[in-house]
Amino acid sequence: MQRIQNILEPLNLIYYAYDEKMNILILDKNWSSEYTFPELIKITHALSKNHILFFIDEDKSIVIADSDTLLKKVKRCFRSMIANIKNSRMPIYILSDKKVKWAKNLPVFDIEPIQQEVDLFPYDALVFTSKNALYALDTMDQTWKKKPAYVIAPETAKIVKHLGGNLKFVGKKKHGDQFGLEIAEKYRHQKLLYIRGSKVVSDLVSILNRDDIQCDELIIYQTVCKTFDKKVKLPKNSTIIFSAPSTIECFLKNIAWDESFKAIAIGKTTANYFPKNITPVISDTTSLESCVKKAIELNS
């Protein structure tokens, strides 16, 4: 598996996520082939060059194998996983409006831009840890697209590319403090602007400012919990996916936690914010697709 990771790392993938357990590169099907096809070509070329066997499944994901025997085994595992999904009656909920196959949507928060005059001229690059910051900034100042964008993870990188921005760096670790260390190691003597929401859970700015970098902050949006008009009661044994600390707060404000529920946290940072009576399972990678896959594994 390490060999595969070493082959894939230089490709800087954002639309394909490698699942080490299944030995599959899973495609994010929310994006058109205009975005994903170049990555498909890069991956298949790299695998072929290194004599790695693979096949492309019906979802355009790439299944990797080291021998014909393993290839057949992976195919069987994949078909079994699909069967488990189709046969599962356990509902899976995502607490936003992003569509992911096999999951239902239950948005529990709204994003409100904080309208203001924005001056990006003094900065060498912009730092993003949230797609909401990108959408908010895009409504206020289009000049951000000319600045190099340093983003925490592939999900944010996709939005930079979609909006026509200048994607320069995507973090490997996908967590706030570690992301700061990655930037500090790669980009010295720069003046950066961290575009963010009103609440953050990392020490990113402090890390950057002590590593020969000047980093300012611009608060450009706030997360506001929804208040449901009618009481929401989810089915027993529901699996709930929490993608940020704010989703925990907003969910529990509206819905009583049932002991039959299962919680999936998108990462370690989010997992730290659960109350003591809820023990989450952490997703393998920081994507909603990976969270849904983890939910399916729990319910199989």
Check pLDDT > 60 for residue 16.
yes
> What domains are defined for the chain?
2-85 (no CATH), 88-108+226-299 (3.40.50.10090), 110-224 (3.40.50.10090)
Q: Return the number of other C-beta atoms located less than 10 Å from residue 278's C-beta.
A: 17
Q: How many CB atoms lie within 10 A of CB 6?
A: 10
* 142: region left, alpha or beta (phi > 0 left; psi from -120 to 50 alpha): alpha
pLDDT of residue 80: 57
Query: Of residues 122 and 3, which shows the higher confidence score?
Result: 122
Query: Quick check: 297 pLDDT over 50?
Result: yes
Mean pLDDT of 129-140: 95
3-state SS class at 196: strand
Task: Report strand pairing: 166-170 vs 191-197.
Answer: unpaired
Distance between CA 133 and CA 160 in Å, rounded? 11
The mean per-residue pLDDT over the stretch 38-58 comes to 92
Task: Give dist(CA 146, CA 125) in Å, integer.
Answer: 9
Task: Report the C-alpha gap between 126 and 151 in whole angstroms.
Answer: 8
What are the strands of the beta sheet with 92-94, ordered from one edge?
Answer: 104-105, 92-94, 239-242, 262-265, 281-282
Q: Is residue 69 predicted with pLDDT exceeding 50?
A: no
> What is the predicted pLDDT for the residue at 82?
57
pTM of the predicted model as reported, rounded to 2 decimal places:
0.85
Q: Which amino acid is at 221?
A: Y
Q: Which of 28-37, 44-53, 65-74, 242-251 is the least confident region?
A: 65-74
| Mean pLDDT, range 189-195, rounded to an integer | 96
Is the pLDDT at 70 greater than 70, yes or no?
A: no
Mean pLDDT of the chain: 89
Residue 1 pLDDT grade (very low, low, confident, very high; cuts 50, 70, 90): low
Looking at residues 54-70, what average pLDDT do you find?
A: 76
Residue 72, exposed/middle/buried by CB under 10 A (0-12, 13-18, 19+)?
A: exposed
- What residues contact 258, with CB distance under 8 A and at least 6 apart? 234, 236, 238
Residue linked to tokens 């959408």: 135
Confidence of residue 167 (pLDDT cuts 50, 70, 90): very high
CA 106 from centroid of its chain's CA atoms: 18
E strands present in the chain: 16-19, 24-27, 53-56, 62-65, 92-94, 104-105, 109-113, 125-128, 148-151, 166-170, 191-197, 214-225, 239-242, 262-265, 281-282
Least confident of 67-81, 141-155, 225-239: 67-81
pLDDT for 62: 92
Buried (b) or exposed (e) across 134-144, using 16+ Cβ within 10 A? bebbbebeeeb
Look up residue 291 and give its two tokens: 């969270």
pLDDT of residue 84: 56
Give the pLDDT of residue 86: 52
Q: What is the pLDDT of residues 79-131, one digit of tens each?
A: 555 555 554 567 999 999 988 888 999 999 999 999 999 999 999 999 999 99
Length of the chain: 300
Tokens 């096809």 found at:
37
Burial-class residue 129 by CB neighbours within 10 Å (0-12, 13-18, 19+): buried
Is the separation of the CB atoms in 300 and 88 below 8 Å? yes
pLDDT, position 75: 58
Is residue 221 classed as helix, strand or coil in its secondary structure? strand
Q: State CA 148 to chain mean position distance.
A: 20
pLDDT digits (tens, 9 = 90+) for 226-283: 999 888 899 999 999 999 999 999 999 999 999 999 999 998 889 999 999 999 999 9
Angle between helices 154-162 and 131-138 (to 10 degrees): 20
pLDDT for 67 equals 53
Residue that wins the pLDDT comparison between 157 and 70: 157
User: What is the average per-residue pLDDT within 181-199?
Assistant: 94
